[in-house]
Amino acid sequence: MTRRILIVTNPHRPESEVAGQVAARAFSDAGIEPTFDFDAGDTIESVMVLGGDGTMLRAAHLTNGSGAPLLGVNLGRVGFLAELERDDVTHACMRLSQGDYAVEERGTLEVTVIHADNTRETGWALNEVTVERANPRRTLELAIEVDGTPLSSFGCDGVIVATSTGSTAHAFSAGGPVMWPNVDALLFVPLAAHALFARPLVIGPSSFYAIEVAARSDAVAQVVLDGDRVVDVDRGGRIEVRRGEHRVTLARMDDAPFASRLVEKFSLPTDGWRGERAASRDSGNPAPERQG
Protein backbone atom coordinates (compact mmCIF):
# COMPACT_ATOMS: atom_id res chain seq x y z
CA MET A 1 0.00 0.00 0.00
CA THR A 2 1.29 3.46 -0.92
CA ARG A 3 2.23 5.60 2.05
CA ARG A 4 0.79 9.13 1.85
CA ILE A 5 1.46 12.17 4.01
CA LEU A 6 -0.65 15.30 3.70
CA ILE A 7 1.12 18.67 3.65
CA VAL A 8 -0.92 21.68 4.79
CA THR A 9 0.50 25.16 4.20
CA ASN A 10 -0.63 28.74 4.72
CA PRO A 11 -1.31 30.12 1.21
CA HIS A 12 -0.92 33.67 2.51
CA ARG A 13 2.69 33.10 3.59
CA PRO A 14 5.21 32.57 0.78
CA GLU A 15 7.70 30.96 3.16
CA SER A 16 5.06 28.37 4.04
CA GLU A 17 4.59 27.49 0.36
CA VAL A 18 8.37 27.20 -0.09
CA ALA A 19 8.62 24.97 3.00
CA GLY A 20 5.84 22.83 1.54
CA GLN A 21 7.93 22.13 -1.56
CA VAL A 22 10.94 21.29 0.61
CA ALA A 23 8.77 18.85 2.59
CA ALA A 24 7.35 17.30 -0.60
CA ARG A 25 10.85 16.57 -1.93
CA ALA A 26 11.95 15.10 1.41
CA PHE A 27 8.96 12.75 1.55
CA SER A 28 9.44 11.70 -2.09
CA ASP A 29 13.09 10.92 -1.38
CA ALA A 30 11.92 8.71 1.50
CA GLY A 31 9.57 6.78 -0.80
CA ILE A 32 6.41 8.43 0.52
CA GLU A 33 3.77 10.09 -1.64
CA PRO A 34 3.27 13.71 -0.56
CA THR A 35 -0.09 15.30 -1.23
CA PHE A 36 -1.49 18.79 -0.79
CA ASP A 37 -5.11 17.71 -1.29
CA PHE A 38 -7.44 15.87 1.06
CA ASP A 39 -11.04 14.73 0.80
CA ALA A 40 -13.07 12.95 3.46
CA GLY A 41 -12.32 9.24 3.26
CA ASP A 42 -8.80 9.65 1.88
CA THR A 43 -6.16 7.48 3.54
CA ILE A 44 -3.17 9.32 4.97
CA GLU A 45 -0.77 8.24 7.69
CA SER A 46 0.06 11.69 9.06
CA VAL A 47 -0.15 15.42 8.40
CA MET A 48 2.71 17.92 8.13
CA VAL A 49 1.45 21.43 8.97
CA LEU A 50 3.62 24.38 7.95
CA GLY A 51 2.38 27.61 9.48
CA GLY A 52 1.09 29.03 12.74
CA ASP A 53 -1.71 27.99 15.06
CA GLY A 54 -4.35 29.10 12.56
CA THR A 55 -2.95 26.66 9.99
CA MET A 56 -2.92 23.91 12.62
CA LEU A 57 -6.58 24.53 13.42
CA ARG A 58 -7.47 24.50 9.73
CA ALA A 59 -5.62 21.20 9.28
CA ALA A 60 -7.42 19.69 12.28
CA HIS A 61 -10.81 20.57 10.80
CA LEU A 62 -9.79 19.50 7.29
CA THR A 63 -8.69 16.04 8.41
CA ASN A 64 -11.37 15.52 11.05
CA GLY A 65 -12.17 11.82 11.34
CA SER A 66 -9.03 10.59 9.56
CA GLY A 67 -7.20 9.67 12.78
CA ALA A 68 -3.95 10.96 11.27
CA PRO A 69 -1.61 12.74 13.73
CA LEU A 70 -0.73 16.36 13.00
CA LEU A 71 2.86 17.58 13.22
CA GLY A 72 3.22 21.37 13.27
CA VAL A 73 6.28 23.32 12.18
CA ASN A 74 5.88 26.90 13.34
CA LEU A 75 6.18 29.50 10.59
CA GLY A 76 3.89 31.93 12.39
CA ARG A 77 4.28 33.94 15.58
CA VAL A 78 3.78 32.10 18.88
CA GLY A 79 2.80 28.76 17.36
CA PHE A 80 1.66 27.05 20.56
CA LEU A 81 0.27 24.02 18.75
CA ALA A 82 3.40 23.55 16.66
CA GLU A 83 6.05 21.07 17.72
CA LEU A 84 9.09 22.39 15.86
CA GLU A 85 10.45 25.68 14.57
CA ARG A 86 11.05 26.87 11.01
CA ASP A 87 14.61 25.52 10.71
CA ASP A 88 13.49 21.95 11.38
CA VAL A 89 11.46 21.16 8.23
CA THR A 90 13.80 18.57 6.67
CA HIS A 91 14.58 16.97 10.03
CA ALA A 92 10.86 16.83 10.84
CA CYS A 93 10.10 15.14 7.51
CA MET A 94 12.74 12.49 8.18
CA ARG A 95 11.39 11.65 11.63
CA LEU A 96 7.78 11.72 10.46
CA SER A 97 8.55 9.36 7.58
CA GLN A 98 10.30 6.99 10.00
CA GLY A 99 7.45 7.06 12.49
CA ASP A 100 9.81 8.51 15.06
CA TYR A 101 7.32 10.41 17.17
CA ALA A 102 4.92 10.04 20.07
CA VAL A 103 1.24 10.90 19.90
CA GLU A 104 -0.77 13.13 22.20
CA GLU A 105 -4.55 13.44 22.16
CA ARG A 106 -6.27 16.78 22.71
CA GLY A 107 -9.88 17.29 23.73
CA THR A 108 -12.47 19.16 21.67
CA LEU A 109 -15.69 21.09 22.20
CA GLU A 110 -19.08 20.07 20.84
CA VAL A 111 -21.31 23.04 20.06
CA THR A 112 -25.08 23.09 19.50
CA VAL A 113 -26.79 26.31 18.47
CA ILE A 114 -30.56 26.29 19.09
CA HIS A 115 -32.18 29.18 17.27
CA ALA A 116 -35.29 31.00 18.44
CA ASP A 117 -37.38 29.05 15.89
CA ASN A 118 -35.98 25.80 17.40
CA THR A 119 -33.83 24.94 14.37
CA ARG A 120 -30.37 23.64 15.25
CA GLU A 121 -26.82 23.89 13.97
CA THR A 122 -23.88 21.90 15.29
CA GLY A 123 -20.11 22.16 15.10
CA TRP A 124 -16.93 21.51 17.01
CA ALA A 125 -13.75 23.29 18.01
CA LEU A 126 -10.27 22.30 19.13
CA ASN A 127 -9.29 25.61 20.73
CA GLU A 128 -12.35 27.67 21.55
CA VAL A 129 -15.87 28.82 20.89
CA THR A 130 -16.55 32.54 21.18
CA VAL A 131 -19.97 34.15 21.45
CA GLU A 132 -19.47 37.71 20.20
CA ARG A 133 -21.64 40.74 19.57
CA ALA A 134 -22.38 41.09 15.86
CA ASN A 135 -22.46 44.89 16.15
CA PRO A 136 -19.41 46.30 17.97
CA ARG A 137 -21.37 49.44 18.86
CA ARG A 138 -23.96 47.48 20.84
CA THR A 139 -23.88 45.54 24.11
CA LEU A 140 -24.58 41.83 24.09
CA GLU A 141 -26.84 40.64 26.92
CA LEU A 142 -26.24 37.00 27.82
CA ALA A 143 -27.60 34.55 30.39
CA ILE A 144 -25.24 31.79 31.55
CA GLU A 145 -26.13 28.29 32.75
CA VAL A 146 -24.03 25.40 34.03
CA ASP A 147 -25.62 21.94 33.79
CA GLY A 148 -29.04 23.52 33.26
CA THR A 149 -28.84 25.71 36.36
CA PRO A 150 -28.95 29.50 35.81
CA LEU A 151 -25.72 31.08 37.05
CA SER A 152 -25.65 34.72 36.00
CA SER A 153 -26.59 37.25 33.32
CA PHE A 154 -24.78 40.36 32.18
CA GLY A 155 -24.03 42.75 29.38
CA CYS A 156 -20.68 42.14 27.71
CA ASP A 157 -18.62 42.11 24.53
CA GLY A 158 -18.91 38.33 24.48
CA VAL A 159 -17.70 35.15 26.17
CA ILE A 160 -15.19 32.42 25.40
CA VAL A 161 -15.46 28.71 26.10
CA ALA A 162 -12.11 26.97 25.61
CA THR A 163 -10.44 23.61 25.96
CA SER A 164 -7.19 23.29 27.87
CA THR A 165 -5.48 23.52 24.47
CA GLY A 166 -7.26 26.81 23.78
CA SER A 167 -6.49 28.26 27.20
CA THR A 168 -3.25 29.76 25.82
CA ALA A 169 -5.05 31.48 22.92
CA HIS A 170 -7.89 34.05 23.01
CA ALA A 171 -8.93 33.04 26.54
CA PHE A 172 -5.42 33.78 27.84
CA SER A 173 -5.46 37.25 26.26
CA ALA A 174 -8.80 37.88 27.99
CA GLY A 175 -7.36 37.09 31.43
CA GLY A 176 -8.14 33.38 31.68
CA PRO A 177 -5.85 30.87 33.36
CA VAL A 178 -3.36 28.63 31.58
CA MET A 179 -4.51 25.01 31.75
CA TRP A 180 -2.08 22.14 31.23
CA PRO A 181 -3.01 20.02 28.16
CA ASN A 182 -3.78 16.96 30.29
CA VAL A 183 -6.51 18.83 32.20
CA ASP A 184 -9.84 17.52 30.92
CA ALA A 185 -12.04 20.55 31.59
CA LEU A 186 -13.95 23.40 29.95
CA LEU A 187 -12.90 27.00 30.57
CA PHE A 188 -15.32 29.96 30.46
CA VAL A 189 -14.02 33.54 30.19
CA PRO A 190 -16.28 36.63 29.97
CA LEU A 191 -15.18 39.51 27.73
CA ALA A 192 -15.58 42.99 29.27
CA ALA A 193 -18.63 41.95 31.26
CA HIS A 194 -20.64 44.61 33.12
CA ALA A 195 -21.03 42.59 36.32
CA LEU A 196 -19.37 42.03 39.68
CA PHE A 197 -19.45 38.25 39.23
CA ALA A 198 -17.73 37.96 35.88
CA ARG A 199 -14.74 35.75 36.52
CA PRO A 200 -13.32 32.79 34.59
CA LEU A 201 -14.94 29.45 35.40
CA VAL A 202 -13.65 25.89 35.00
CA ILE A 203 -16.01 22.89 34.92
CA GLY A 204 -15.40 19.17 34.59
CA PRO A 205 -15.74 17.01 31.49
CA SER A 206 -19.25 15.77 32.29
CA SER A 207 -20.66 19.28 32.75
CA PHE A 208 -21.75 21.77 30.09
CA TYR A 209 -22.28 25.48 29.57
CA ALA A 210 -25.37 27.06 28.03
CA ILE A 211 -25.39 30.66 26.85
CA GLU A 212 -28.63 32.41 25.89
CA VAL A 213 -28.94 35.67 23.98
CA ALA A 214 -31.44 37.68 26.01
CA ALA A 215 -34.55 39.10 24.36
CA ARG A 216 -33.53 42.54 25.69
CA SER A 217 -30.05 42.38 24.16
CA ASP A 218 -29.07 45.45 22.12
CA ALA A 219 -26.93 43.27 19.85
CA VAL A 220 -27.47 39.91 18.21
CA ALA A 221 -24.66 37.37 18.49
CA GLN A 222 -22.20 35.47 16.39
CA VAL A 223 -20.77 32.10 17.42
CA VAL A 224 -17.23 31.65 16.09
CA LEU A 225 -15.61 28.21 16.09
CA ASP A 226 -11.80 28.24 16.23
CA GLY A 227 -11.76 31.71 14.70
CA ASP A 228 -13.15 30.42 11.41
CA ARG A 229 -16.71 29.13 11.09
CA VAL A 230 -19.36 31.71 12.05
CA VAL A 231 -22.98 31.04 13.06
CA ASP A 232 -25.37 34.00 13.48
CA VAL A 233 -27.59 33.79 16.57
CA ASP A 234 -30.56 36.12 17.07
CA ARG A 235 -32.18 37.14 20.34
CA GLY A 236 -33.71 34.12 22.05
CA GLY A 237 -31.06 31.79 20.67
CA ARG A 238 -29.20 29.34 22.87
CA ILE A 239 -25.66 27.94 22.58
CA GLU A 240 -24.72 24.74 24.39
CA VAL A 241 -21.05 23.79 24.73
CA ARG A 242 -19.88 20.47 26.10
CA ARG A 243 -16.91 18.12 25.86
CA GLY A 244 -16.57 16.69 22.37
CA GLU A 245 -16.69 12.96 21.75
CA HIS A 246 -13.77 12.90 19.31
CA ARG A 247 -10.21 13.99 19.95
CA VAL A 248 -7.45 15.47 17.83
CA THR A 249 -4.13 13.63 17.69
CA LEU A 250 -0.86 15.58 17.62
CA ALA A 251 2.55 14.14 16.76
CA ARG A 252 5.19 14.98 19.36
CA MET A 253 8.96 14.89 18.87
CA ASP A 254 9.99 16.98 21.86
CA ASP A 255 9.55 15.47 25.32
CA ALA A 256 10.10 18.78 27.13
CA PRO A 257 7.44 19.46 29.80
CA PHE A 258 4.61 21.90 29.11
CA ALA A 259 6.12 24.38 31.58
CA SER A 260 9.22 24.62 29.36
CA ARG A 261 6.98 25.32 26.36
CA LEU A 262 5.34 28.16 28.29
CA VAL A 263 8.71 29.65 29.16
CA GLU A 264 9.89 29.44 25.56
CA LYS A 265 6.75 30.69 23.82
CA PHE A 266 6.09 33.59 26.18
CA SER A 267 9.77 34.40 26.88
CA LEU A 268 9.14 34.13 30.61
CA PRO A 269 11.91 35.39 32.91
CA THR A 270 13.56 32.42 34.63
CA ASP A 271 17.16 33.71 34.84
CA GLY A 272 18.61 33.06 38.26
CA TRP A 273 16.14 30.33 39.18
CA ARG A 274 18.05 27.19 40.12
CA GLY A 275 15.46 25.30 42.14
CA GLU A 276 15.29 24.71 45.87
CA ARG A 277 17.10 21.38 45.89
CA ALA A 278 19.86 22.50 43.52
CA ALA A 279 20.52 25.57 45.65
CA SER A 280 20.58 23.48 48.85
CA ARG A 281 22.95 20.94 47.29
CA ASP A 282 25.37 23.62 46.17
CA SER A 283 25.38 25.23 49.63
CA GLY A 284 25.88 21.91 51.40
CA ASN A 285 22.65 22.32 53.38
CA PRO A 286 19.81 19.80 53.06
CA ALA A 287 16.57 20.98 51.50
CA PRO A 288 13.91 21.68 54.14
CA GLU A 289 11.29 19.00 54.68
CA ARG A 290 7.85 19.87 53.34
CA GLN A 291 5.04 19.87 55.88
CA GLY A 292 1.66 18.19 55.39
Catalytic residue among 53, 88, 184, 234: 53
Q: Where are the beta strands (DSSP E) in the chain?
A: 4-9, 33-35, 46-51, 70-74, 84-85, 102-106, 109-114, 120-125, 128-133, 140-146, 149-156, 158-162, 186-191, 201-203, 208-213, 221-225, 229-233, 238-243, 248-252
Q: Which domains are present in the chain?
A: 4-106+247-266 (3.40.50.10330), 109-243 (2.60.200.30)
The pLDDT assigned to 286 comes to 57
pLDDT along the chain (292 residues), means of 10: 91 93 96 94 94 94 94 84 84 93 96 97 98 95 97 96 96 95 97 91 98 96 96 98 96 90 87 62 54 48
The pLDDT assigned to 22 comes to 95
Cβ atoms 226, 128 nearer than 8 A:
yes
What lies within 8 Å, CB to CB, of 253 at 6+ separation is 71, 83, 84, 92, 95, 100, 101, 102
The pLDDT assigned to 292 comes to 45
Decide if 39 is catalytic. no
Query: Residue 123: which of 153, 167, 178, 161 has the closest Cα?
Result: 161
